[in-house]
Structure 1
């Protein structure tokens, strides 16, 4: 059985040209086991937002590629969808796009006694992010970030 990282890499390679040629952005790929079932989830977006027809096109293309190359041994469910309003921030360009947006960040270890930070992302310079929380700014080194996503303010 291939590792989750290997499968993610293979799927990225399969999708790269199709995604670029059609003006999509590959946001994330997950290959996870939930209960007794495996799921291959592809999250994509595009300028102005992705719709069900776009997801269907990506799914059909990827299904054909998976049938031809057959890189996954076990049975799985393929899901292609939008990353949603609380899309994850994974790559440096995701953080750059999220500047001036509300974010939720967790860290691997506490920073000033906390591992969760929510506020306005003021800046990102590829090394650290600065979040405005209340009236104070918190600087978080990117190497300490466990997860980050856009957050909806209610």
Structure 2
């Protein structure tokens, strides 16, 4: 059910985002307590503002009302992904080479399953991430299909 809702929301929001020259970052349909939330994360090269989020929310709400893919009450939330933007697609990894990232893997790579580090490269479906363990640096080659979750990470030096 939740995957079906996500697919419908993605299909409905794409033409709206094309009109605004914005991109879809992620769609999440989840329950918190007794309430359901359909969260749509959007962005633009120069950043997205609250007015644009409002436009997308209004237009998407109209489309969702027409198709009515959700059988029970829910809240629609359209927003920017923020500083810890998720990395979901291969294109995201290519775009953010050189950035500090957090990754959680399905299975360990070189003894590491959850870590933060600098994304040094992404090619041939391999993310090369430089991590620090105390005073030494270590480079991990992480196959894309082993990445369970990844996002940009904020670092304080």
TM-score, normalised with respect to structure 1: 0.95
Aligned length: 152
Deviation string, structure 1 residues 61-118 (Cα, Å, up to 9, x no partner): 0111111111111110110110010000001111111100000101011223221121
Map residues 10-21 of structure 1 onto 2, 5 A cutoff.
10-21=8-19
Aligned to 1:149: 151
Q: Find out whether 1:54 has 2:52 as its counterpart.
A: yes
Question: What secondary structure sits across from 1:56 in the alignment?
Answer: helix
Cα distance, 1:39–1:126 mapped onto 2, change above 3 Å: farther
How far does residue 21 in structure 1 lie from its aligned partner after superposition?
1.9
Aligned to 1:111: 109
Question: What secondary structure sits across from 2:107 in the alignment?
Answer: strand
Map residues 68-87 of structure 1 onto 2, 5 A cutoff.
68-87=66-85
TM-score, normalised with respect to structure 2: 0.93
Q: Is the 8 A contact 2:109 2:141 kept in 1?
A: no
Deviates more, 1:70-79 or 1:126-135: 126-135
Aligned to 1:137: 139
Q: Is the 8 A contact 2:121 2:127 kept in 1?
A: yes
Aligned to 1:30: 28
Of 94, 98, 101, the residue aligned with 2:99 is 101
Q: Is the 8 A contact 2:17 2:24 kept in 1?
A: yes
